[in-house]
């Protein structure tokens, strides 16, 4: 893959979203047998353009093309990761489906366009999850199966590798940046700083994590997890990061189900502060949302984050 100078985005001088016609042409170049009949542009991770192609037989294909070198590097790493995940699936180490790359083609500006079939299932709705056997337990077991995979395949794909101390320091840096905005209640900052200074809380074994277990990346079918997508943030890091969204988004009474199902699926789990760290990371996600709004100059996101932070601060003050 060609990488130009002038910084990570040097190959892409101007960020202009590709049209549906361009994406259709790129898909045909990557998989020549695709007989394009229709195309619709869909949302994609930052720095990428994406579309869904329908061929003459009514089959759909997803095409993704990076628009920055940073996104191109991430896509290359993800492609390598997906190859390993397919092997793990064949070996029975994971049961969910992942994107299967049907074809790719070099882009003149650098990087590659990739094409794969859509994955089965529908995005999970955390608010509908209930305690006990069922989807909540299945999601927790699926996440645990990812964390049980050998760590070497993360480094082999060129993805980030963090030890426990580095995970802790990343959160410290986020809190410092969030505090500098002046929009985080002081009580929350004190609460978070105390947890980040608690050495015992940050003694854990890093594992392969998905890194972006958002509802749109967990596809459900028949009460189980059909597929996992969105692997661009995968890394070796804190397993609590992958469960934080569940605890923060689902009804409170589901938490015990998540933790029990997860721990039963792990072969060795020696982390007495696991649940505590999950709750902390769920709170820190609000600071991350605030920083996203500030960095992208989206006032609506900033206002939403501030409102949620104030609500959390009030709940903490009331012992919630």
CATH code of the domain containing 77: 3.30.200.20
Which residue, chain included where needed, has tokens 């929350």? 188
> 130 and 89 in one domain?
no
- What pLDDT was estimated at residue 2? 34
Q: Is 209 part of any domain? A: yes
CATH code of the domain containing 244: 3.90.1200.10
pLDDT-based confidence at residue 320 (cuts at 50, 70, 90): low
Query: For residues 174 and 290, what is the distance between their CA atoms, to the nearest angstrom?
Result: 10
Q: Is 6 part of any domain? A: no
> What is the model's pTM?
0.83
Q: Is 4 part of any domain? A: no
pLDDT (average), residues 90-113? 88
Residues 6+ apart with CB under 8 A from 231: 78, 81, 82, 85, 98, 99, 210, 212
- What pLDDT was estimated at residue 16? 60
Of 54, 88, 116, which closes a domain?
A: 116
Q: Is the CB of residue 265 less than 8 Å from the CB of residue 193?
A: no
Number of domains observed in the structure of the chain: 2
> 206 and 145 in one domain?
yes
Which residue, chain included where needed, has tokens 């600071």? 287
- Residue-wise pLDDT for 304-317, tens only, equals 999 999 998 888 87
> 193 and 44 in one domain?
no
Q: Report which of residues 244 and 4 the model is more confident about.
A: 244
Q: Which pair of tokens denotes residue 140? A: 């927790």
Which domain range does residue 55 map to?
20-116
Q: Is 10 part of any domain? A: no
> 264 and 226 in one domain?
yes
Spell out the SS3 assignment of the chain: CCCCCCCCCCCCCCCCCCCHHHHHHHHHHHCCCCCEEEEEEECCCCCEEEEEEEECCCCEEEEEEECCHHHHHHHHHHHHHHHHHHHHHHCCCCCCECCCEEEEEECCCCCEEEEECCCCCEECCHHHCCCCCCHHHHHHHHHHHHHCCCCHHHHHCCCCECCHHHHHHHHHHHHHHHHHCCCCCHHHHHHHHHHHCCHHHHCCCCEEECCCCCHHHEEEECCEEEEECCHHHCEEECCHHHHHHHHHHCCHHHHHHHHHHHHHHCCCCCCCCHHHHHHHHHHHHHHHHHHHHHHCCCHHHHHHHHHHHHHHHHHHHCCC
- Residue-wise pLDDT for 1-34, tens only, equals 333 433 444 444 445 678 888 888 899 889 898 8
Tell the burial category of 197 from Cβ atoms under 10 Å away from its Cβ (0-12, 13-18, 19+). exposed
- What pLDDT was estimated at residue 209? 96
- Residue-wise pLDDT for 186-205, tens only, equals 999 999 999 999 999 999 99
Asked whether the predicted pLDDT for residue 168 surpasses 80, the reply is yes
Q: Report which of residues 136 and 74 the model is more confident about.
A: 136
> 163 and 90 in one domain?
no
Q: Is the CB of residue 68 less than 8 Å from the CB of residue 15?
A: yes
Of 87, 116, 145, which closes a domain?
A: 116
pLDDT (average), residues 214-228? 90
pLDDT (average), residues 269-295? 90
Q: What percent of the chain has pLDDT over 70?
A: 93
């Amino acid at each position: 893959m060609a990488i130009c100078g002038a910084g990570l985005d040097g190959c892409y001088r101007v960020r202009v979203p590709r049209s549906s016609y361009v994406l259709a042409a790129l898909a045909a170049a990557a998989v020549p047998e695709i007989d394009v009949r229709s195309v619709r542009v869909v949302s994609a991770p930052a720095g990428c353009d994406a579309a869904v192609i329908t061929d003459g037989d009514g089959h759909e294909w997803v095409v993704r093309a990076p628009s920055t070198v940073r996104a191109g590097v991430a896509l290359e790493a993800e492609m390598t990761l997906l190859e390993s995940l397919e092997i793990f699936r064949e070996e029975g180490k994971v049961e969910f489906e992942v994107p299967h790359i049907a074809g790719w083609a070099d882009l003149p500006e650098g990087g590659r366009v990739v094409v794969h079939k859509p994955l089965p299932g529908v995005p999970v709705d955390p608010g509908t999850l209930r305690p006990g056997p069922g989807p909540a337990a299945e999601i927790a077991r699926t996440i645990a199966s990812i964390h049980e995979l050998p760590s070497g395949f993360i480094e082999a794909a060129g993805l980030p590798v963090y030890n426990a101390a580095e995970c802790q320091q990343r959160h410290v840096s986020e809190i410092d940046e969030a505090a500098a905005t002046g929009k985080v209640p002081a009580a929350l900052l004190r609460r978070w700083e105390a947890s980040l200074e608690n050495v015992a809380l940050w003694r854990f074994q890093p594992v392969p994590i998905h890194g972006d277990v958002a509802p749109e990346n967990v596809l459900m079918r028949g009460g189980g997890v059909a597929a996992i997508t969105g692997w661009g943030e995968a890394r070796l890091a804190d397993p609590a990061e992958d469960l934080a969204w569940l605890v923060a988004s689902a009804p409170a009474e589901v938490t015990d189900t998540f933790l029990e199902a997860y721990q039963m699926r792990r072969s060795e789990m020696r982390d007495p502060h696991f649940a505590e760290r999950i709750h902390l990371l769920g709170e820190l996600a609000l600071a991350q949302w605030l920083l996203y709004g500030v960095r992208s100059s989206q006032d609506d996101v900033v206002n939403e984050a501030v409102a949620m932070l104030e609500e959390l601060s009030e709940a903490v003050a009331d012992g919630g």
